[in-house]
Amino acid sequence: MIRHVAVVDIGKTNAKVALVDLATLRETALRRSANAPLTDGPYPHHDIEWLWTFILDSLAELHREQRIDAISITTHGATAVLVDADGGLALPVLDYEFSGPDDFAEDYDLIRPPFVETGTPRLPAGLNIGAQLLWQQRRFPAEFSKAAAILMYPQYWAQRLTGVTANEVTSLGCHTDLWNPWKSDYSTLVDKMGWRRLMAPVRPAKDRLGPILPALAQQTGLDPQTPVYCGLHDSNASLLPHLLSDRPPFSVVSTGTWVVSMAVGGGKVELDPARDTLINVNALGDP
């Protein structure tokens, strides 16, 4: 029986691991740390190995205090990870606030899908993952060619915990230019750039990807059969309980580094991409 779930929550400014009691839906313990990108190397990037150590140390500490029965993951959006055949990083994980992708803005604007296809507005810097990937592919062709998979950020951490590669629609459908929410499939940009072969299989957020890897179970003290779930984008994690319990129409405002207002079941309106409106995809796969 699953009673205590450890939620790995990697936000843009803070990283947390919270233990949630499913009987009361309350946090019973929390580990938190500031999360800042590194500015060395080829471009600003996330401190992946520090975050990994933080996650494992937090899991071990929380498990000693109260047994962890399962692990789920949520992270900020606009972040993709290029992993090589061994599961390591082909390139550092780019910080979406880095303006480098703007170097190829004109070229990218010629190939990105229209708003009507993806529901994604054109955003600056690396906020469109498609722009990130184009920039990385052009600036670092040798390293990019070593990528065996492109993973969304929550699923990267799930892959490190389980060894199983996957992607999931809430991160794919969050202003990436990579996802067509109407067809529940990758966008024309993915095929145009030849990236489809790198895209890991799409799995629901609720899917159990596998048990924690044996070496990690030994390191943290967790049961080797502790399940790890696919995970989802953080704003959609705020929305999910309401999707499961409330009747539309309703709105949810998710706050953190960003403030995101989400409307479910409202009247259909013509969205204006110039006003920072977009179509996300919820954890059930619906636009």
Alpha-carbon distance of 35 to 84, in angstroms, equals 25
**Is 287 inside any structural domain?**
no
pLDDT of residue 33: 97
What is the arithmetic mean of pLDDT over 40-61?
98
Alpha-carbon distance of 78 to 80, in angstroms, equals 7
Q: Which has more pLDDT, 42 or 281? A: 42
Which residue carries 């409106």 as its tokens?
277
Check pLDDT > 80 for residue 106: yes
**Is 283 inside any structural domain?**
no
Q: Is 114 exposed, middle or buried (0-12, 13-18, 19+ CB in 10 A)?
A: exposed
Write the pLDDT tens digit of every residue in 180-215.
999 999 999 999 999 999 999 999 999 999 999 999
The parent domain of residue 156 ranges over 4-275
CATH number of residue 232's parent domain: 3.30.420.40
Both tokens assigned to 287: 């636009």
Mean confidence (pLDDT) of the chain: 94
**Is 206 inside any structural domain?**
yes
Report pTM.
0.95
Number of domains composing the chain: 1
Residue among 92, 89, 80, 85 nearest 132 (CA) = 80
Please name every residue paired with 186 in a beta bridge, in sequence order, or none if there are none.
179
**Is 286 inside any structural domain?**
no
**Is 284 inside any structural domain?**
no
- Return all residues near 232 (Cβ < 8 A) that are at least 6 apart: 73, 74, 154, 168, 170, 171, 205, 240, 283
